[in-house]
Amino acid sequence: MCGLAGIFHYADPDRSVDRAALTRMTRALAHRGPDGEGFHVDGPLGLGHRRLAIVDLSPAGAQPMPLDGGAFVIAYNGELYNHQRFRRELEARGERFRGHSDTETLLRWVARSGPDVLSDAAGIFAFALYDRDKRRLTLARDPMGVKQLYLHDDGRRVVFASEIKALLEHPDVPRRLDPEALNEYLHFHTPLFERTFLADIKQVRAGEYVTFNAHGRRARRYWAVDDFTPRGGSPESNVEALRETLQSVVGEQLMSDVPVGSFFSGGIDSTAVAACAVKAGVRPRCFGVHFTGQGVIDERPYQESAAKALGLDLELITLDGSTFPEDMSRLLYMQDQPVIGHAMIPMDAVAKLASSRVKVCLGGQAADEVFGGYARYALAHPLKVAAQFASPARLLERLQGRLRRSASAAAPAAPAVGGNLWKQLSERRTLDRIARNLRKGPSALLRWDERYFDNFTKVPESAWAGLLSDPRVLSRERARQVFRDTLDASPATDPADKLMHWDQQTYLTGLFQQDDRMSMGHSLESRVPMADPRMVRFAFQSGFDLKFREGASKWLLRRAVADSIPQEVLTRRKVGFDTPAETWMRGKHRDFVFDTLTRQRARERGLWDAPAMARWLDNTGDPLWFDVTWKALCVELWATLTLDGGYTRYSTADAAAPTAG
């Protein structure tokens, strides 16, 4: 995993690259690649690269990597897990390789056959590939959007990089808020698709490549989830097929010339990935975060139980929030823009811990979004889910469970995986949210899309409208329209598939951005086997009845990994990356929150209605206080760093360049 930056004057072939700007951009990414630095400048094209050496640690893996005497050159961030398949095909056609990196495989594969071959790629990546003879630059992003690639295109020159902060090192890149990005963040927790918080910076979309040449710019989707037809077969045959697929994917993702570790939350997904690694012959060191005595669920007992069951070493770190104000500014700088939520705090801490031991960590990200891990997907078929708790089959299952527990000499049966969904649906905060939505009228009861939209956006439009100075920024109707348009464009027919497809294209890409920044901020590569294209296609061809079954969400995945996960982990309710951030903000760091959102600079910017914000911050008893205040705090800190140019404090642009190799 690495960092890349570049400049290309695609409409002005005689114009030279600003080398000083390219150097600043590249060195702003020093945290992504402490093992090497390289540049390639060829007339109107300049590429910069920072290397985190994972596969082929020799100089043969250094970048930017040329081919055919510089006729092609690539700057690449990521991993191509199934590259050996393509390497064998290329060798059969006469290609001779210099090293064994997946970078070289990707370079030769795409240079010879064109970027449409990426439809067969299983990996996480973003890259820039230049064809000197055709004066053509191709920017590409992996199928699921795990890695990001940002660009500023002025119509004649494109500036691009792995992170937004690198683009802001170029003097011609403006810093203007995109109001619609803010509107999308307030509703969906992240800007959507190609949009970022800055109006003049876009991102290459997941599963897309963009080409630039003298004729201009052209974007093309090479991969998308487009087949939702259930594969058929019995539930058990699907369980076995998924088990084999997951084991194969994790086995491939152990590809590394350095030690591989594992993020360990104490939940099903990260435990399952670690268990598959063990079966593949690798015993990863595990790393986790927990909070003791701070008003949230303490993950430690689950983490220790799972690690003990797998026979793995586990290192944990406890957070107490004492450095919350300093951490928030640093994390917003690392993250580039507000996305998702407060999980960035524990993600940063566990990445820092892991990076002191390993360079690579596997995690369980994406399983909930594609295999149906959230209770909100039940809103698509509420009657079908409710029937699971009262059906004769469910009652029989409960009876069988009691009999199994009382039969000490009986042969062990398949582990029970049901019941977690009821734990989620019966939570107080879940019931409160359902009650609020039901008060909105018949549409909340009759339309599955409206039920989901109201549940997901959570905060009523009126709450935001009372705090924002410019009413034009906020539009629940614009947000609702993009939601409906995306659902309508989905080839899925089942409502639950449409909702998960929406999350896969929107919410999940925001999670991936957060995961990338928190890990790479500590020079750590984060791999996500559950987001492998083969796993995603499998999930979307499984059908609702295999995801919500026997009173369980994510039933198919639970059954597939049930033989290697402790029972208390297998049936626990979904809790996510919960943190005591709300307690910190209401309590010992209340002054920091109040001062940030009401200080002179915030009033001068004019984004918030200052008197209304002060009244809101005093109303800590409001059930939505944390949801609103967290987002407002993140936006204001981001604006201070980005719009006010406050990056200097955290900049790595002047970091010394290491020796390449």
pLDDT tens-place string over residues 292-311 = 766 677 788 888 989 999 99
Q: Which two tokens stand for residue 58?
A: 């020799």
Which has more confidence, 655 or 255? 255
Q: Would you state the pLDDT for residue 384?
A: 80
pLDDT over 90 (residue 512): yes
Question: Global pTM?
Answer: 0.90
Contacts of 399 (CB under 8 A, 6+ apart): none
- Mean pLDDT to the nearest integer, 391-412: 47
Q: What is the 3-state secondary structure (H, E, C) of 477-544?
A: HHHHHHHHHHHHHCCCCCHHHHHHHHHHHCHHHHHHHHHHHHHHCCCCEEECHHHCHHHHHHHHCCCH
Q: Would you state the pLDDT for residue 441?
A: 57
Helix (H) or strand (E) holding 534: helix 533-540
Residue where the block lists tokens 């009262």: 390
pLDDT over 90 (residue 416): no
pLDDT tens-place string over residues 115-150 = 999 999 999 999 999 999 999 999 999 999 999 999
Confidence grade of residue 552 (pLDDT, cut at 50, 70, 90): confident
Confidence grade of residue 605 (pLDDT, cut at 50, 70, 90): confident
Residue where the block lists tokens 């400049």: 7
Instruction: Please report how the helices 179-188 and 625-642 are oriented relative to each other, as an axis angle in degrees rounded to 10.
Output: 150
Give CA angle at 660 (657, 661), nearest 5°.
Answer: 150
Biggest alpha carbon–alpha carbon distance for the chain: 82
Cα-to-chain-centroid distance, residue 359: 19
